[in-house]
Amino acid sequence: MGYIYGISLLQALILAASDTTAVTLTWALSLLVNNPDVLKKAQLELDTRVGKERQVEESDVQNLVYLKAVLKETLRLYPAGPLLIPHEAIEDCTIDGYHVPRGTRLLVNLSKIHRDARVWSNPNEFDPERFLTTHRDFDVRGRNFEFFPFGSGRRMCPGVSFALHVVELALASLLHGFDFATPSGEPVDMHESSGLTNLRATPLEVLLSPRLPSRLYGH
């Protein structure tokens, strides 16, 4: 029974991380295509740290400070689960003057928290620099209640480490290997769909152009 439970738990972690990775990558690419200066800066960091004669490796990711800031800013603006998972009050309590009866179902509005103008300057703008300056001490592991895209405490996403590892390496590899543009030349539509997972309202369509020597892409 323990072995079967372990396998089921592992599968759940991988599926959750895969879903988060796909959603976050899609939003990150959407934002970068619409902000070419940020895209070029992320690619310059990759060219400086990795070069253009080999592919990105796992060991490179720890040195990609700007890319990590891009991902944090993506998760701030478009968290994969904008309402997190439902919580329930286990006892009567009062929060900021509001009486919350026991058994009340609670949803966390991350979109509101992550775009609070009292915390974030120009909250609706895509500005990765904020995580290198004013908010450089903020991480994604729920230690700051102004920014917790994976939740916080005992109920935070258990696959956060795996998801971050996968999405950082995937985004680094994509930005290192390709330039991006829209087929029409118009900005990417940034409308969101409704639901528990923060999906785009329309599929992302981009043109990819290789930016590395052809031998690095295989055959």
Binding-site annotation: residue ranges for heme: 157
Cβ neighbourhood burial of 170 (10 Å; 0-12, 13-18, 19+)? middle
State the Cα–Cα distance between residues 83 and 166, nearest whole angstrom: 22
State the Cα–Cα distance between residues 39 and 175, nearest whole angstrom: 8
HEC sequence for 167-217: HHHHHHHHHHHEEEECCCCCCCCCCECCCCCCCECCCCCCEEEECCCHHHH
Which residues are known catalytic residues? 20, 150, 157
State the Cα–Cα distance between residues 46 and 172, nearest whole angstrom: 7
Contact between 28 and 39 under an 8 Å Cβ cutoff? The reply is: no
**Which residues sit in the known binding site?**
157
